[in-house]
Amino acid sequence: MAGGAFADADTLKRAYLYEYKITGYFIFACIVAALGGSLFGYDLGVSGGVTSMDDFLKEFFPKVYRRKQQHLDETDYCKYDNQVLTLFTSSLYFAGLISTFGASYVSRKYGRRGSILVGATSFFLGAVLNAAAVNIAMLIIGRIFLGVGIGFGNQAVPLYLSEMAPAKIRGAVNQLFQLTTCLGILIANFINYGTEQLHPWGWRLSLGLATVPATLMFIGGVFLPETPNSLVEQGKLEEGRRVLEKVRGTTNVDAEFADLVDASNAARAVEHPFRNLLQRRNRPQLIIGALGIPAFQQLTGMNSILFYAPVIFQSLGFGSGASLYSSIFTSGALVVGALISMSLVDKFGRRAFFLEAGCEMILCMAAVAITLALKFGQGETLPKGIGFFLVIVICLFVLAYGRSWGPLGWLVPSEIFPLETRSAGQSVVVCVNLLFTALIAQCFLVSLCHLQYGIFLLFGGLIIIMSSFIFFLLPETKQVPIEEVYLLWQNHWFWKKIVTETDQASDSDGKSTLQV
């Protein structure tokens, strides 16, 4: 049944036979796996704070430090326009996008758990190197190790959570990844706020504490069960059924296990999963899941705010301590947004959150741009009232992102690929996501310098485009079993013209099957 590779109408729609209970074993597995999000989140939060700390800038980027001191209390978009400084942030994501293809092989060959363990180990080594850095080369090498860790973790964790979760609560379970990402960002901002007072080594503590989530993830990963989907894919049928029974809390798993076996049989027939992604029947997953959503998630402008929240607020005239304090509010809004999404996404659906929050994000970007257009001036101090208004609007933007593009940007791609291309598809998702993350990280500060308030208008226009993309092309996937999502494409007004081009194909036994 492999999500649409070969279809048998009599055996596809049997999700109503699935049974499950929420077991302690299931909860443990999901919490440990979700720690992978804390690696991503902690780095997102800590890197922006560290790059605004005076001690860090004096040691590695003295030119940026001197420029910052000249405009300490003024509105100056160009304070941090330094490509080596942005390379410190973006090098991690370039490393991550390359490593995700290795993660695909490990995840498919050795299981999702194997990728999680590799990711935790690499992230730990990167954190140690960064904390001990004495020159820019050590910083960049450490960031590369961190990037490899995030590449493996982001490839495996969303898949793991989606495969372990029952269909009716898959949205909430998968969003544990986003929740731990948001919590990682929030904790990192609190740590930055404290370590900024520890001169001259506070930044080392901020970077070194990344070893804590990596250690927890590795130790937990040692005891982590592999997903039933992955075990069946590896040919370990008895173990796969045993884990499925334990995770679901019932021995009545015949229907779900049969779907897994059918999906696995089709998956093993695919020798080149990356090439299979390009086939016509996988066109919706490729365009929506592998390319569109992960790229658009970064083009909202959200990660620019997460990377550089302290930098942005300092550029707008906030002092060093005040800027870190303001970034705590934004990351707190992100956590609240994730909790809202977890609670309601399986009730109201993915499309509703994408579209409602998209409208709010457009209005927020317009408000920020108009405010800065009216009040911006080179060397002009930004009034406190305007500054607080900007913090509130940015928090509203973050809250909208936190319940839509943030969690759903990982949830939707992880649930729409058929098993035979799921690992490869998730690798492309992570690769595209990290590519655009790296490009945004590398280009944002120079764009802020040259476009000024126009950068926020640009992001607002992009959100209009991506909301239209969702409205016209994404069907609702809530509570649809992961191995039956492909049926949605056959009933969609646009995609059915592509995926229902049928022809008679012979399988390896010479029997005629319907290829969709």
Q: 385-418: string of b/e by CB count within 10 Å (b at 16+)?
A: ebbeebbebbbbbbbbbbbbbbbbbbbbbbbbbb
**Position 451 confidence tier, pLDDT thresholds 50, 70, 90:** confident
Facing residues of 6 across strands? Answer: 515
> 19: which DSSP letter?
-
What's the pLDDT tens digit per position in 270-322? Answer: 667 788 888 888 899 999 999 999 999 989 988 667 655 665 666 555 665 66
In contact, 338 and 178? CB cutoff 8 Å? yes
ω into residue 200 within 30 of 0, thus cis?
Answer: yes
**Whole-angstrom distance, CA of residue 237 vs CA of residue 228:** 9
Which pLDDT belongs to residue 511?
40
Per residue, what are the HEC states of 401-445? HHCCHHHHHHHHHHHHCCHHHHHHHHHHHHHHHHHHHHHHHHHHH
483 contact partners, CB below 8 Å, separation of at least 6: 1, 2, 3, 259, 260, 262, 263, 418, 419
**Position 469 confidence tier, pLDDT thresholds 50, 70, 90:** very high
Write down the residue that tokens 């001990």 correspond to.
132
In contact, 434 and 100? CB cutoff 8 Å? yes
Q: 174-208: string of b/e by CB count within 10 Å (b at 16+)?
A: bbbbbbbbbbbbbbbbbbbbebbeeeeebbbebbb
* Lowest mean pLDDT across 102-106, 145-149, 284-288: 102-106
**Whole-angstrom distance, CA of residue 46 vs CA of residue 39:** 11
- The distance of Cα 204 from the centroid of its chain, to the nearest Å, equals 26
pLDDT exceeds cutoff 90 at 385: no
Facing residues of 505 across strands? Answer: 513
**Position 182 confidence tier, pLDDT thresholds 50, 70, 90:** confident
Give whichever of 207-221, 362-376, 429-443 has the largest mean pLDDT: 207-221
- The distance of Cα 49 from the centroid of its chain, to the nearest Å, equals 20
- Phi/psi for 514 (5° steps) reads -90, 115
Q: Strands (DSSP E) along 146-257, which ranges?
A: none
* CA dist list (Å): 365 to 44, 353, 383, 479: 21, 18, 20, 33
Residue 344 burial by CB count (10 A; 0-12/13-18/19+): exposed, middle or buried?
Answer: middle
- Name the pTM for this structure: 0.76
In contact, 453 and 368? CB cutoff 8 Å? yes
Count of C-beta atoms within a 10 Å radius of residue 255: 16
31 contact partners, CB below 8 Å, separation of at least 6: 176, 220
Which pLDDT belongs to residue 12?
46
pLDDT exceeds cutoff 80 at 28: yes
Write down the residue that tokens 């030119």 correspond to.
63
**Position 399 confidence tier, pLDDT thresholds 50, 70, 90:** very high
Which pLDDT belongs to residue 503?
38
* C-alpha closest to that of 196 among 40, 387, 391, 51: 51
Strands 503-506 and 6-7: unpaired
* C-alpha closest to that of 178 among 293, 53, 341, 322: 341
Give whichever of 15-24, 60-69, 252-261, 460-469 has the largest mean pLDDT: 460-469
**Whole-angstrom distance, CA of residue 299 vs CA of residue 362:** 12
**Position 218 confidence tier, pLDDT thresholds 50, 70, 90:** very high
Which pLDDT belongs to residue 61?
84
**Whole-angstrom distance, CA of residue 514 vs CA of residue 119:** 40
pLDDT exceeds cutoff 50 at 3: no
Sheet with 512-515, edge to edge strand ranges: 6-7, 512-515, 503-506
Which pLDDT belongs to residue 45?
80
Which pLDDT belongs to residue 214?
93
In a 13 Å sphere around the CA of 312, the CA atoms on its Cβ side amount to 28
- Phi/psi for 378 (5° steps) reads -60, 125
What is the phi-psi region of residue 496: left when phi exceeds 0, alpha when psi lies from -120 to 50, beta otherwise? alpha
In contact, 469 and 296? CB cutoff 8 Å? yes
> At 339, which helix (H) or strand (E)?
helix 320-348
In contact, 226 and 111? CB cutoff 8 Å? yes
151 contact partners, CB below 8 Å, separation of at least 6: 95, 96, 97, 98, 99, 100, 102, 103, 119, 430, 434
Strands 503-506 and 512-515: antiparallel
* C-alpha closest to that of 163 among 262, 260, 25, 271: 260
Average pLDDT rounded to a whole number, residues 224-253: 90
Structure tokens at 217: 């993830």
